[in-house]
Structure 1
């Protein structure tokens, strides 16, 4: 049960983080003067990695652990659903968000910003679904 609860805590923390980024951090990008945006974006990338890195690492460990060695009484379906949600977050991050941040690193780009916000909504929704799957796994394991 400890692994399931740790996984739930990590997924919930990441989902909360992602909604904060979507609702607060990314909208503030529009307020940065264009001549200061490059430095702002560089600082954002450096600082955000300090938060998202451990959350991704923790979720990767607990997700892989649950897939490889589910504790007794843990149902497979919520573990698979949570794994799919985490994979979706990672894919959108790697294939969409990171390239958009690289475009923004060159300077303010309103179209890239709008696309980043759309991609981030997908990440936030997938993260929330992953938290729901983790809660489902915990509740199902309790009998």
Structure 2
């Protein structure tokens, strides 16, 4: 039961983080003066990993733990579904969001920011789905 609670807390914390970035942080990028934007974006790229890294690592550990040693009474389908949600978040982050941030680090581009917002919506939705699945796991176990 403790594993399921920790997993839910981690998925919910990440989803909250991701929606905050999507709704508050990224839209404010457009307000940064063009001359200052590359330095602003590079600072963003340095400051985000210490916040998001532990959330990614924690979710990865709890997801793998649930897949490897699923507690009795916990159905496989939501464990697998949660793993898919995390894989989507990580894949979209590494394959789409990180390269877009690199482009923004060279200078502000409204089209790149618009694409980042679309990509980030996918991450936020996948993270939210992962939280719903983590709650389903907890409810199904109990």
Q: Once superposed, which parts of structure 1, at least 4 consecutive aligned residues long, lie more than 2 Å away?
A: none
What SS class does the counterpart of residue 13 from structure 1 fall into?
Answer: helix
Question: For the residues of structure 2 that align with 1:96 and 1:48, how far apart are their CA atoms?
Answer: 16
Question: For the residues of structure 2 that align with 1:39 and 1:53, how far apart are their CA atoms?
Answer: 22
Alignment of 1:80-119 (within 5 A): 80-119=80-119
Aligned pair count? 142
Question: For the residues of structure 1 that align with 2:138 and 2:83, how far apart are their CA atoms?
Answer: 15
Deviations 1:9-46 (A, max 9, x none): 00000000000000000000000000000110011011
Tell me what 1:13 maps to: 13
> Does 2:52 match 1:52?
yes
- How far the C-alpha of 1:124 sits from its partner, in A, is 0.2
The alignment's C-alpha RMSD in Å is 0.5
- How far the C-alpha of 1:72 sits from its partner, in A, is 1.2
Q: Is there any run of 5+ residues in structure 1 with no aligned partner, and where? A: none
Deviations 1:56-102 (A, max 9, x none): 00000000110111111111011011000000000100110000001
Question: For the residues of structure 1 that align with 2:42 and 2:57, how far apart are their CA atoms?
Answer: 22
What SS class does the counterpart of residue 34 from structure 1 fall into?
Answer: coil
Q: Is there any run of 5+ residues in structure 2 with no aligned partner, and where? A: none
- How far the C-alpha of 1:47 sits from its partner, in A, is 0.7
Tell me what 1:127 maps to: 127
Tell me what 2:38 maps to: 38
Question: For the residues of structure 2 that align with 1:37 and 1:49, how far apart are their CA atoms?
Answer: 19
Question: For the residues of structure 2 that align with 1:129 and 1:3, how far apart are their CA atoms?
Answer: 19
